[in-house]
Amino acid sequence: MTDPYRLVPTAPPLDDYLRLRTDSGLSPRNAGQGAGAITGSWSFCHVVDAVGRPVAMGRTIGDGGWYFHIADIATDPAHQRRGLGRQVVTWLLDDIRSRAPEGAYVTLIGDPPGQRLYRSLGLDDVAPSLGMALVL
């Protein structure tokens, strides 16, 4: 991580988690949803700027056995195009490699803006599978 940024291997504060999701274009969430995401994650990291304000984040949801899903990759628009997303995803993948059993399966939903980054880090399309979702 280069100055003025520092990677922190924990979740950002709840208000910053909610702000980063919204500001980066991810769907807004409420405080209850955000608190559940923070406490229910297998791992989390965020990046702070020179004054300690969280400006990027990401997390891993996982069962600790074989399945891990990378989620909430978000960078404040004022800090994009500086490699912060790459640092976050790299840290999350390294964390999975170091703590998960051999044969771990890692997934993520790669929105178009991040697909090039994710492919460059070794993730690949799962075609002919197709991502599916249900919002309750």
Spatial separation of the C-alpha atoms in residues 17 and 104, rounded to whole Å: 27
pLDDT over threshold 70, residue 66: yes
pLDDT over threshold 80, residue 11: yes
16-30, pLDDT tens digit by residue?
999 999 999 999 999
pLDDT score at 3: 81
pLDDT score at 2: 66
Sheet of 6-8: strand order equals 6-8, 43-48, 54-62, 67-75, 105-108
Q: Does a cis peptide bond (omega within 30 degrees of 0) precede residue 4?
A: yes
pLDDT score at 134: 87
Superfamily of domain 6-120 in the CATH hierarchy: Gcn5-related N-acetyltransferase (GNAT) (3.40.630.30)
Mean pLDDT for all residues in the chain? 95
Domain residue ranges of the chain, discontinuous segments joined by +: 6-120
Output the pTM of the full model: 0.94
